[in-house]
């Protein structure tokens, strides 16, 4: 006989589902401040450049379905239900927590689909979920704060990096620079003893060691347009620097992201590639994890580690 259902809350950033929702989406990100008409049109043009919509929600749904399937296969004595909650778009985190409470979920694990912890990123998702828990009187959710060194996650990234490096002649691969990227955050996190920057470096080092590639560095992308300084160097500046140094090839490995979305499909595939074309560089991006089976297994292993250990926080 199975025990009562155990919930899993997968959280992601969110995305507008139509171009008409772009303004409300970015107003939510900006905490109620609407973008200017110029900002709005630029944002809409970016979505139009990638086909009109970001695939993030559809990919997150497939990730949730895959994780639920694997959890039930690997732990058939327990009933698992996986829910998704978005930070800035429907289904919002609060909506997901409310549904969990209404469906009788009493215990659950929460995992943000971003491997590196920062109080300004993953921490804010956890705060949103906790506020919803208090509002709806449950369920009790244990949060996995980071999973940036989980072995199957490292192996999944390493697999994709090997593939990307094979786009270059065998005799040249060892000298191709690999740039590991994540979403930039305001520089003030450096004064907060925040682990975000160090965790990115730890993931990059683990992947590079797994692949056996010595030439790599970390960079940042998709910085917000605010007056305060953001983490750097920016990926565009790094590409220019490599060109100035005489390098004409590079691999971009965005280890801070797990799905194709605007920051991948526009910021890297369009913006970085446009710069590379102007410079005469050959720049290759590693393919995203999305809902691939090896990544689903990495997420499932992370969740089951919690279930087996029964710890209060990982």
| Same domain membership, residue 89 and residue 7 | yes
For the chain, first and last CA: distance in Å?
29
| Same domain membership, residue 182 and residue 107 | no
Please tell me whether 202 is known to bind a ligand: no
| Same domain membership, residue 213 and residue 161 | yes
Q: Is residue 312 scored above 50 in pLDDT?
A: no
* 3-state class (DSSP) for residue 48: helix
Q: Which long-range contacts (CB under 8 A, 24 or more apart) does 302-310 make?
A: 302/111, 302/144, 302/147, 302/150, 302/153, 303/8, 303/67, 303/71, 303/109, 303/111, 303/144, 304/71, 304/74, 304/75, 306/109, 306/142, 306/144, 307/6, 307/75, 307/78, 307/109
pTM of the model: 0.95
| Same domain membership, residue 134 and residue 42 | yes
Please tell me whether 125 is known to bind a ligand: yes
List the CATH number of the domain containing 259: 3.40.50.1400
One-character DSSP codes across 108-144 = EEEEES-SS--TTTHHHHHHHHHHHHHHHT--EEEEE
Please tell me whether 222 is known to bind a ligand: no
Nearest CA-CA partner of 303 in 58, 2, 7, 77: 7
Please tell me whether 306 is known to bind a ligand: no
| Same domain membership, residue 163 and residue 231 | yes
- Total number of domains in the chain: 2
For 204-226, the pLDDT digits (tens) are 999 999 999 999 999 999 999 88
192 falls within a domain: yes
Please tell me whether 46 is known to bind a ligand: yes
Please tell me whether 13 is known to bind a ligand: yes
For the purposes of burial, counting CB atoms within 10 Å of the CB of 77, is it exposed (0-12), middle (13-18) or buried (19 or more)? exposed
- Which domain, by its residues, includes 225? 151-285
| Same domain membership, residue 172 and residue 265 | yes
| Same domain membership, residue 200 and residue 120 | no
314 falls within a domain: no
141 falls within a domain: yes
127 falls within a domain: yes
| Same domain membership, residue 180 and residue 110 | no
| Same domain membership, residue 137 and residue 34 | yes
| Same domain membership, residue 193 and residue 173 | yes
| Same domain membership, residue 278 and residue 168 | yes
Please tell me whether 30 is known to bind a ligand: yes
37 falls within a domain: yes
For 129-187, the pLDDT digits (tens) are 999 999 999 899 999 999 999 999 999 999 999 999 999 999 999 999 999 999 999 99
């Amino acid at each position: 006989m199975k025990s009562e259902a155990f919930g899993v809350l997968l959280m992601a950033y969110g995305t507008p589902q139509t171009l008409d929702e772009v303004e409300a989406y970015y107003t939510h990100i900006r905490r109620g401040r609407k973008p200017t008409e110029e900002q709005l049109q630029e944002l809409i043009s970016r979505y139009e450049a990638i086909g009109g919509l970001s695939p993030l929600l559809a990919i997150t749904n497939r990730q949730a379905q895959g994780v639920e399937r694997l959890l039930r296969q690997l732990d058939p004595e327990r009933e698992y239900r996986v829910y998704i909650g978005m930070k800035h778009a429907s289904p919002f985190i609060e909506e997901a927590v409310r549904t969990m409470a209404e469906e009788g979920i009493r215990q659950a694990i929460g995992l943000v689909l971003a491997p590196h912890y920062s109080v300004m990123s993953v921490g804010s998702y956890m705060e949103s979920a906790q506020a919803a828990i208090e509002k709806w009187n449950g369920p009790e959710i244990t949060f996995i704060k980071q999973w940036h060194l989980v072995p199957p996650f490292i192996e999944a990234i390493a697999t994709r990096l090997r593939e990307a490096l094979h786009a270059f002649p065998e005799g040249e691969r060892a000298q191709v620079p690999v740039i590991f990227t994540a979403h930039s955050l305001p520089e003030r996190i450096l004064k907060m003893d925040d682990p975000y920057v160090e965790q990115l470096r730890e993931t990059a080092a683990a992947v590079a060691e797994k692949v056996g590639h010595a030439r790599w560095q970390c960079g940042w992308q998709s910085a917000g347009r605010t007056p305060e300084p953001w983490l750097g160097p920016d990926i565009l500046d790094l590409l220019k620097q490599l060109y100035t140094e005489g390098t004409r090839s590079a691999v971009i490995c965005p280890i801070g992201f797990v799905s194709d979305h605007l920051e991948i499909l526009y910021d890297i595939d369009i913006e970085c590639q446009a710069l590379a074309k102007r410079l005469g560089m050959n720049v290759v991006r590693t393919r995203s994890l999305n809902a691939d089976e090896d990544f689903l297994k990495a997420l499932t292993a992370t969740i089951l580690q919690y279930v087996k250990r029964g710890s209060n926080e990982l």
